[in-house]
Structure 1
Amino acid sequence: MNIEKIKTDLNTIKLLFNEPLSHVTYTKTGGPADCLLFPKSVEEVKQIVDYCNQEGIEWLCLGNASNLIVRDGGIAGFVIMLEDLNEITVNETTLVADAGAKLIEVTHVARDYTLTGLEFACGIPGSIGGAAYMNAGAYGGELVDVFESATILLADGSIQTFTKEDMQFSYRHSVLQETKGIVLNVTFALKKGELATIQERMNELTFLRESKQPLEYPSCGSVFKRPVGHFTGKLIQDAGLQGLKWGGAQISEKHAGFIVNIDQATATDYVELIKHIQQTILEKFDVVLETEVRIIGREK
């Protein structure tokens, strides 16, 4: 990678070279990005993708890096962070949020405008772009329930509007997981509600999350998808794995569906522990646990 050329060609965009991704991931693990970029506009995002296509550079867009494990070898090429694209606008019952807006903040804006439908997401720490990418959900709600459309920058540099049907949502899945693209913003179709009712539901879900989840430690959130007919946490408990330590990572003693970083864990600790859990659950209960968390990047 020709660092000086990139600095010259993309001189208006904030760039960090060989930047440890442990600085941005919720697990506080992960190797370096060859180049970490922070565009401040849609035009700059498009400029980056066009540049990569022109120069033959691999690129990847990260959301809030909350439901993500980056391997200790880091990520080759460009890693695009959209945290500076975070505008949220409301028009009657329609809310539009840029990809870098925090999902939690969006739920607060919806509440302030007495709009209902997003309460389920009041504690999900991801970004809007990441939430659309994986059809984020909690407590019986999913993004698809309130999704109207999204503006997507495709790998060829074109910008298109995707409808709910185009997104092909299913449990923790969207078409973007197969089709490379960047969510630029999402439009939500909400309904008018009562402020007290909305706040009461958000308070209830916040209490449930704080009382049951290990928010006091770095983690990647819920590690596994819920297997049909089972609860992941109970399977792990019944297998006698809860509390198991692997390097600096541990299956949470508070919620067995979480793996927490208790002592300078590495991404390798996380990945090896995940594999151990999957193998154990398969052997004991003949149940396949699929990861909800994305595991990306190079081996060290």
Structure 2
Amino acid sequence: MEDLITKLKELNIGKVIENEPLANHTTMKIGGPADIFIEPSSIDHMIKAMELIRESNVKWTVIGRGSNLLVSDLGIEGAVIKLGKGLSTLEVNGTEVKAGGGNSIVALSTQISRQGLSGLEFASGIPGSVGGAVFMNAGAHGSDISKVLKKALILFADGKIEWLSNDDMMFSYRTSVLQKLRPGIVLEAVFQLKAGDKELIFSEMQNNKEYRKETQPWNFPCAGSIFRNPLPNHAGKLIQDAGLKGYSIGGAKISDMHGNFIINTGHATANDVQSLINYIKKKIYDLYEVEMHTEVEIIGRK
């Protein structure tokens, strides 16, 4: 591990920090330390960092803006690579937009709306990265990434780099091929958008933002929707109907505003959140015989 840290620092690939608290890098403000925390300053440096990690046979985990993560209180073993500013490139060519995986999906949707490009209005309130959004096929307001993604540049675990088409991504509800079948890192994504009316696009985005502000507790540290919707049911409605809004374990509380959000009231641990998740699962199954599956990604040492 020390040899890897030395090599990474010698190559000046970006930030390289030992024992960095991951609570600093998640929207839930929860998470123990990463053995090595790396934030590459470019795509080339990302590729080089992964090459060194493979050669050192060190476990690795990739994070974006930390908006859909619950990180263990014990932290994450090995290297944690963050898609940050170094992977926030942006190119607009007509109605085609190429964005680096580290871009904020909210900032991207806002920026392209000013150019009269339509298709990412649904993302105006999703607090994640482009890479994370593609990885999990993020969506809202009746649309998702699969509707607009043309292709994505993926760095695979073996070092291979390949453009995957929309079909190759095998998108389904909050899922892509990258999650299990072909684990990889989204370096860049190309979106095929449409020319539209700037005022109408802006109005729709504002409505989406206002809806989220009025119905979701983003004024507290949280990780977005905790559960996938067990269609045709909706997770938030089931939790609300079960009378669980406001229920808490330790510093973790089910939001009074939205049943499918767990908030950090200020001192929550990952264990508190996990215990509350397990409690909800059992309660909903006992009441409705519906199995609940997490949308939030739970990672780290156990």
- Where on the TM-score scale, by shorter chain, does this alignment land: which range? over 0.9
**Whole-angstrom distance in 2 between the partners of 1:7 and 1:283:** 49
Moved more, 41-50 or 246-255: 41-50
Task: Determine if contact 1:219/1:258 at 8 Å carries over to the other structure.
Answer: yes
**Whole-angstrom distance in 1 between the partners of 2:158 and 2:235:** 39
Task: Determine if contact 1:116/1:192 at 8 Å carries over to the other structure.
Answer: yes
Which residue pairs with 2:38 in the alignment?
Answer: 37
Deviations 1:88-122 (A, max 9, x none): 11110001110000000110121011000100110
Q: 1:170 aligns with which of 159, 169, 172?
A: 172
**How big is the alpha-carbon RMSD for the aligned residues of Structure 1 and Structure 2?**
0.9
Deviations 1:190-233 (A, max 9, x none): 00000011011011111111000111100000101111121211
**Whole-angstrom distance in 2 between the partners of 1:228 and 1:100:** 31
Shift, 1:6, TM fit:
2.8
Which residue pairs with 1:232 in the alignment?
Answer: 235
**Whole-angstrom distance in 2 between the partners of 1:210 and 1:7:** 42
Letter paired with 1:67: N
Task: Determine if contact 1:148/1:188 at 8 Å carries over to the other structure.
Answer: yes
Which residue pairs with 1:213 in the alignment?
Answer: 216
Within the alignment, does 1:279 sit opposite 2:277 as a pair? no
Shift, 1:263, TM fit:
2.7
Q: What is the aligned-residue identity percentage?
A: 43
Runs of 4+ more than 3 Å apart = none
Which residue pairs with 2:8 in the alignment?
Answer: 10
**Whole-angstrom distance in 1 between the partners of 2:232 and 2:162:** 38
Structure 2, unaligned runs of 5 or more: none
User: Could you say what secondary structure the match of 1:199 adopts?
Assistant: helix
**Whole-angstrom distance in 2 between the partners of 1:88 and 1:67:** 23
Within the alignment, does 1:144 sit opposite 2:142 as a pair? no
Alignment of 1:101-250 (within 5 A): 101-178=103-180, 179-250=182-253
Task: Determine if contact 1:40/1:82 at 8 Å carries over to the other structure.
Answer: no
User: Could you say what secondary structure the match of 1:95 adopts?
Assistant: strand
**Whole-angstrom distance in 2 between the partners of 1:131 and 1:88:** 16
Which residue pairs with 1:80 in the alignment?
Answer: 81
User: Could you say what secondary structure the match of 1:202 adopts?
Assistant: helix
Task: Determine if contact 1:135/1:170 at 8 Å carries over to the other structure.
Answer: yes
Shift, 1:8, TM fit:
2.5
Within the alignment, does 1:50 sit opposite 2:51 as a pair? yes
Within the alignment, does 1:25 sit opposite 2:29 as a pair? no
Structure 1, unaligned runs of 5 or more: none
Shift, 1:47, TM fit:
1.0
Task: Determine if contact 1:243/1:251 at 8 Å carries over to the other structure.
Answer: yes
**Whole-angstrom distance in 2 between the partners of 1:181 and 1:237:** 36
Shift, 1:63, TM fit:
1.3
User: Could you say what secondary structure the match of 2:158 adopts?
Assistant: coil
TM-score, structure 1 as length reference: 0.97
